Amino acid sequence: MSKDAFVTGVLIIFMLATLPACAEEVAEEPAVQLPPREHTWVRKETMKKSKDVFFAKQESAEAPIPINEELAKKLSQSQSSEVKGSVKDTASCLAVLKPLDTQRTTVQKAGGMWGAYERSAEVRVRSNKGMQIDSRINKLIFALGHLCKTAKGLPQNNIARVISNKVSANGKEAVTQEFLDLGKAPKDIELWLEYADYWQKNEKRDLDYKTIEGLMAQSVPLIDLYEELTQRTVDATSKQSFLSDSVTLLETMKKLSSTDDYIVLALNEEKDAPYENLDPDM
């Protein structure tokens, strides 16, 4: 064996002999210590500050907004001079209403009053007012359309037909017992009987088309203001006038929907109409 080969062999044997010792030394090393976990929670004082800011905004949002008295008076004035007597039947009534409905739809497709509030950081905190105005405008247009369609008689729906026919044939007590035997809820039966009775009283009613046309004329400045408000640029300077005018519009519509006999009638008929869940073949 050559001298080089002998040296190489000795080195190999020496390395193999030391491997277990190295493994043992590695195994005996202590576990790696991870750095302490960072505290990522928001500090208490920061949370307190955010809470204070939130409630400050709420208090600001709830501060009363003054009504624009001059505008309120203008919006509430009778528009009888604009009643032209062109509404004579359902078709002509709906034709007069259509431009107002189209105007409302166009405004709401662009975001409506809610969108107008949301666009400005100055009034965004009060955007619920915008939603209320949008809702009131919708109710007003619905009420006018309902009056056009039902001025000369409340249409008979399935509930009115079924209940009225049964009451005429057998009487209320027998009809009540029949539905109880079928497992219908007593409250539902009561509502059905009341509605059928209401329908019979209004089946051939005669609402005044001139009055309905007058309501549509009175709604014109409301819809116009609604559209104009959604197009305003609201900043720190114009904030108060925007809020005052929009709340004035809202309060005017609330008053109209709670004091005008025809509008109240239409809204109540929509609200009180029971869900048609009767079998039409009963």
Q: Which tens digit of pLDDT belongs to each residue from 131-175?
A: 999 999 999 999 999 999 999 999 888 888 888 889 889 999 999
Asked whether the beta carbons of 122 and 233 are under 8 A apart, the reply is no
Rounded CA separation 19/25 (Å): 10
Question: Where in the chain are the domains?
Answer: 68-152+206-274, 156-203
Residue-level pLDDT at 235: 94
Residue-level pLDDT at 9: 55
Asked whether the beta carbons of 153 and 204 are under 8 A apart, the reply is yes
Nearest CA among 78, 72, 75 for reference residue 223: 75
Whole-number Cα distances in Å, 75 to 78, 215, 223, 224: 8, 12, 10, 11
Q: What is the mean pLDDT of the chain?
A: 82
Q: pLDDT tens digits for 13-49? A: 555 555 544 444 444 444 445 444 444 344 444 445 5
Asked whether the beta carbons of 236 and 119 are under 8 A apart, the reply is no
At 274, is the pLDDT very low, low, confident or very high (cuts 50, 70, 90)? confident
Residue with structure tokens 């750095």? 35
Q: In this model, does residue 7 exceed pLDDT 90?
A: no
> What pTM did the predictor assign?
0.73
Rounded CA separation 144/127 (Å): 26
Rounded CA separation 100/218 (Å): 11
Asked whether the beta carbons of 230 and 111 are under 8 A apart, the reply is yes
Rounded CA separation 58/171 (Å): 57
Rounded CA separation 199/157 (Å): 9
What's 31's DSSP letter? P
Asked whether the beta carbons of 221 and 74 are under 8 A apart, the reply is yes
What's 237's DSSP letter? T
Residue-level pLDDT at 100: 97
